[in-house]
Amino acid sequence: MRDRLDLYAVTAQTELDGLRATMAEREKETRDRGAAGSPQASLAGGGDANRLSGVGRANVPWGTDPFLAFVWITNSPMLTVLRRILRPTSGSSGERRRLVLVRIGSFEEYAEFVARTGREYASRRRFERGLIANRGAFAVDGWCVVCQREAQFQVNFEYSHEVDGELTPNWRERLICPHCGLNNRMRASMHILQQECAPPSGAALYITEQTTSLFRALHHRYPGIVGSEYLGDSQRRGPADRDGIRNEDLTQLTFESARFDHILSFDVFEHVPEYRTGFGECLRCLKPGGKLVFTVPFTKERSTLVRARKNGDGSIVHLLSPEYHGDPLSEAGCLTFYHFGWDLLDDLRRLGFCSVGALLYWSVEFGYLGGGEQMIFVASKPEAA
Ligand SMILES: [Zn+2]
């Protein structure tokens, strides 16, 4: 249900000999280009992950562009299968694997990226369609980065929707690891938190959810993490109530300024009419250099789609048919005010965030499938002057 929007991604792991060198070279190039405002890919090679040899010199559709070569090779489902076959059977739990993230900072950068990788996206969607044999449940083999083990990610048609006339699983909310119970987006958010922020276990983290399996998994790894739910204005805000649930309103957080190393928020801001105030509160509560990592429904368009508005007297005006998302604390669900567009990134920069961007990823290996790409946003609080 939260995934009607086909949020995105890109990924891959590769084991082609020689590609590591290409990646390192390309990373330097893209870093240089990133400084000039072009799409920037974090292509750091995956430690032990790159082995293999000899494949990849055949005729391939990347022309002379090494970046396209990288995207094509690293995202080829066939290579993922090959890599799995060739994976050593011992010591796999100790392997360090890295998710490839493509950083995009604007509508224009995204349009350019899509134009360059359209064929690859089509291939990913074909791969995803090929997994659906019928309308029954099925599993996709992969590696759970949370459990650090092989897993058969479970997919069924709960929350499914039609894409091009075909019933399609809600990839983002499915692909559930049978060992940790976390779905695609939850596993990916932990993966990207580790990779982008690398918080130590004692880090001061805040996440805008508390009654979820993701919070429990994060709490296991980061015991000092603070979680909260929005219990409404009638309940006292701040520290936990008798049930152990903390009540926080994103637009008026009770935390002191610069309290947290990083803040996480997944699919919450679309429910906050005054979302800019909410982002401003996150900025206030972050330490200098801290990161806000978040997801929201995203249209891929230039401008944010306003679905509903809240008047000064508290009444709601629906500009489009009301859309409600699941709420762990309410059967009625939570009204969605926005489907955000790329202008959200400008909002964040105006508020004072820096290094604002969307991270695109898609990975067969890690079970991060869906619509050809998945997407998560990162914005930093500037270091103190
Ligand atoms: Zn797992």
Predicted confidence at residue 322, as pLDDT, reads 85
CA–centroid distance, 146 to ligand 1, in Å, is 5
CA–centroid distance, 365 to ligand 1, in Å, is 13
CA 162 vs CA 6, 76, 184, 332, 371: distances in Å = 11, 25, 19, 24, 12
Least confident of 158-172, 223-237, 339-353: 158-172
Evaluate whether residue 239 is within a structural domain.
Answer: yes
Residue 309, both tokens: 């508005």
Torsion of CA 101, 343, 370, 222, to 10 degrees: 60
CA–centroid distance, 216 to ligand 1, in Å, is 13
Evaluate whether residue 344 is within a structural domain.
Answer: yes
Contact 243, 225 (CB under 8 A): no
Evaluate whether residue 253 is within a structural domain.
Answer: yes
Question: pLDDT tens across 32-71, in order?
Answer: 444 333 333 332 333 222 222 222 233 344 445 554 555 5
User: Does the structure show a pLDDT above 50 at 15?
Assistant: no
Using DSSP's 3-state secondary structure scheme, residue 290 falls into: strand
CA–centroid distance, 142 to ligand 1, in Å, is 10
| Higher per-residue confidence, 183 vs 232 | 183
Q: How confident is the model at residue 76 (pLDDT cuts 50, 70, 90)?
A: low
Evaluate whether residue 33 is within a structural domain.
Answer: no
Mean pLDDT taken over the chain: 80
User: Does the structure show a pLDDT above 70 at 235?
Assistant: yes
Q: How confident is the model at residue 267 (pLDDT cuts 50, 70, 90)?
A: very high
CA–centroid distance, 210 to ligand 1, in Å, is 19
- 91 contacts: CB under 8 Å, gap ≥ 6: none
Split into its structural domains, the chain has a count of 1
Which 8-state DSSP code applies to residue 189? H
Q: Classify residue 356 as exposed, middle or buried by CB count within 10 Å of its CB (0-12, 13-18, 19+).
A: buried
User: Does the structure show a pLDDT above 80 at 330?
Assistant: no
CA–centroid distance, 360 to ligand 1, in Å, is 21
Evaluate whether residue 328 is within a structural domain.
Answer: yes
Evaluate whether residue 364 is within a structural domain.
Answer: no
To which residue do tokens 């990133």 refer?
34
The residue range of the domain holding 259 is 199-354+376-380
| Higher per-residue confidence, 160 vs 200 | 200
CA 252 vs CA 229, 230, 255, 286: distances in Å = 13, 11, 9, 14
CA–centroid distance, 378 to ligand 1, in Å, is 24
CA–centroid distance, 143 to ligand 1, in Å, is 8
Neighbours of ion ligand 1 (CB under 5 A): 144, 146-147, 177, 179-180
Mean pLDDT of 134-156: 93
CA–centroid distance, 124 to ligand 1, in Å, is 23
Residue 68, both tokens: 């396209």
pTM: 0.76
Evaluate whether residue 322 is within a structural domain.
Answer: yes
Q: How confident is the model at residue 158 (pLDDT cuts 50, 70, 90)?
A: confident
The CATH number that applies at residue 233 is 3.40.50
Evaluate whether residue 26 is within a structural domain.
Answer: no
Q: How confident is the model at residue 295 (pLDDT cuts 50, 70, 90)?
A: very high
Least confident of 80-84, 140-144, 154-158: 80-84
